[in-house]
Amino acid sequence: LTLDLGPESRASADVPPEPLSSEAPIGRHLLPINVGRSPSGHLTVAGVDLCSLAEEFGTPAFVYDEEHLRVRCREALAAFGPGVAYAAKAFHCKAMALLAFEEGLALDVATDGELAVALAAGIPGDRLVLHGSNKSVHELEAGLRAGVARIAVDSFDEIDRLESLVAGRGGVQDVLVRVTPGVEAHTHEYVMTGQVDSKFGFGLDSAAAEAAARLRKIEGVRLVGVHAHIGSQIFRTDSFAREVAALAPFVSDLGVGELCIGGGLGVAYLNGETAPTLVDWAAAVRSACRDARLPPEVRVTAEPGRAIVATAGVTLYRVGTIKDLPGIRRYVSVDGGMSDNPRPVLYGSGYEAFLPRCPDSARRLAARVVGKHCESGDVVVENARLPADLAVGDILATPVTGAYGHSMASNYNRVGRPPVVFVRGGRARVVVRRETVEDLLRLEL
Ligand SMILES: Cc1ncc(COP(=O)(O)O)c(C=O)c1O
């Protein structure tokens, strides 16, 4: 079997995939921490049988191991300290925002919508960092009103907007200047953000110093640090070391007390992949800071998203159609697709698939798992392996769907977005309910 790893993975995996038997069951490292088996051999997460859960809540559904999310938050906090923020864009809802806050993380929000959800969850403004490229006047106002801890300033136009908003307002807003350090991370072009040719931030060699100087002249704004984010799904810690090396002299010259290196740590999606841990990542960053002689009093922080939530989540689908094209391939159609997981379409991302009713079975059947949307590109798992007795009506699961699945979900073909179910201690609770046709119609005037 040659699994198509997808461009993100091909470009980024510095550890060559281990030669796993093509029929091997799903790798343990791709599943949430608290998995087990029910008496009938079904996969359980936090003591909840995934097949029963699908019956109770319907499919498709996003299921998260709550304890897994908490453990990852604690790891991030231990690795980077109290300035570390969870990047809400990876997966955002009130329950997740609250969980991250309870575990001691700040939250990075990138739009007024993400800000509103965090505030509705009861997160205090001083635990929020407002990001976003092309922030509107309304978004900046909302951030100021909420008393966010930091605004990461992205462009000269944004500086103009901020300047007029703070004029005569009283108080001081702490800001970071977002810099593109000219580092090309080893990842997919669409999720690469640190290179010079980028819509984000100020070029380190061109505009960053001028932006910092302008911010320093504005009464009511205090420049407290430098921010950069070089991309997402990055497996090589040396990319982050290059980022630190590029930024350290600028931080030292400015004499600011904070450097946020952004998010971007990759996760394994496929049986043969491995990724650095949050601890490995922080260790590499710290060592790069020492090598770059960053003053030790500078607070170095990060904003992991995917690394916290991806592996905690599993998507459950139901198989509706199996179509055999002899000599060509077998198509297995499920009741979701690109509307709940656009990553395969956007980046050619690879996933695994398995049947929760028999997670330990050999996967002898080669198939393409596809969605229900009106596009040939609506692929869920391009080269899936599944047990040979797969049948219509089976619950089929894709692991590692906790990041950029629900948060990137759409209503294409007027499909309602799936619910989010948190499981913990043998109990399941819906934290975001399924979107209904009534929800969709509510927007129509
Ligand atoms: C500014 C910023 N911080 C953090 C992140 C989180 O990245 P990841 O989920 O890859 O850790 C992103 C992702 O796009 C981002 O743009």
Contact between residue 218 and residue 250 where contact means Cβ atoms under 8 Å apart: no
- The band of 9, judged by pLDDT with boundaries at 50, 70 and 90, is very low
Contact between residue 364 and residue 326 where contact means Cβ atoms under 8 Å apart: no
**What pLDDT does residue 10 have?**
34
Q: Give the tens place of pLDDT for each residue, 36-89.
A: 999 999 999 999 999 999 999 999 999 999 999 999 999 999 999 999 999 999
Question: Is residue 267 within 6 Å of ligand 1 at its C-beta?
Answer: no
Q: Give the tens place of pLDDT for each residue, 170-215.
A: 999 999 999 999 887 666 666 666 667 888 899 998 899 999 999 9
Q: Give the tens place of pLDDT for each residue, 302-336.
A: 999 999 999 999 999 999 999 999 999 999 999 99
Q: Give the tens place of pLDDT for each residue, 228-280.
A: 999 999 999 999 999 999 999 999 999 999 999 999 999 999 999 999 999 99
**What pLDDT does residue 187 have?**
61
Lowest mean pLDDT, pick from 93-107, 170-184, 404-418: 170-184
Nearest CA to ligand 1 atom 10: 264
Task: List CB contacts of 358: < 8 A, sequence separation 6 or more.
Answer: 41, 42, 387
Degrees to nearest 5, angle at CA 146 with 141 and 148:
95
Contact between residue 309 and residue 114 where contact means Cβ atoms under 8 Å apart: no
With a pLDDT cut of 70, the percent of the chain lying above it is: 93
- The band of 6, judged by pLDDT with boundaries at 50, 70 and 90, is very low
Question: Is residue 61 within 6 Å of ligand 1 at its C-beta?
Answer: no
> How much distance in Å is there from the Cα of 364 to the middle of ligand 1?
37
Q: Which residues of 402-418 are buried (b: 16+ CB within 10 A; e: fewer)?
A: bbbbbbbbeebeebbbb
Q: Is residue 73 among the annotated active site residues? A: no
**What pLDDT does residue 186 have?**
63
Question: Is residue 402 within 6 Å of ligand 1 at its C-beta?
Answer: no
* CB count in 10 Å sphere of residue 113: 12
Distance between CA atoms of residues 169 and 165, nearest Å:
7
Question: Is residue 264 within 6 Å of ligand 1 at its C-beta?
Answer: yes
β-partners of residue 33 are none
**What pLDDT does residue 183 have?**
84
Q: How many Å is the Cα radius of gyration of the chain?
A: 22
**What pLDDT does residue 308 have?**
98
Q: Which atom of ligand 1 is nearest to the CA of 404?
A: 9
Q: Is the peptide bond between 60 and the residue preceding it cis, with omega within 30 degrees of 0?
A: yes
Q: Ligand 1 pocket: which of 89, 240, 306, 311 to mutate (most atoms <8 Å of CB)? A: 89
Q: How many CA atoms lie within 13 A of 252 on its CB side?
A: 13
With a pLDDT cut of 90, the percent of the chain lying above it is: 90
State the average pLDDT for the chain. Answer: 93
**What pLDDT does residue 267 have?**
97
Range 357-360 contact pairs with CB under 8 angstroms and sequence separation of 24 or more: 357/41, 357/42, 357/43, 357/51, 357/394, 357/395, 358/41, 358/42, 358/387, 359/25, 359/26, 359/37, 359/41, 359/42, 359/43, 360/25, 360/37, 360/41
**What pLDDT does residue 197 have?**
80
**What pLDDT does residue 221 have?**
98
Distance between CA atoms of residues 262 and 301, nearest Å:
8
Q: pTM for the complete prediction?
A: 0.93
372 pLDDT above the threshold of 90: yes
Per-residue pLDDT, averaged over 366-378, amounts to: 96
From the candidates 51, 73, 260, 374, give the one annotated as an active-site residue.
Answer: 374
> How much distance in Å is there from the Cα of 405 to the middle of ligand 1?
14
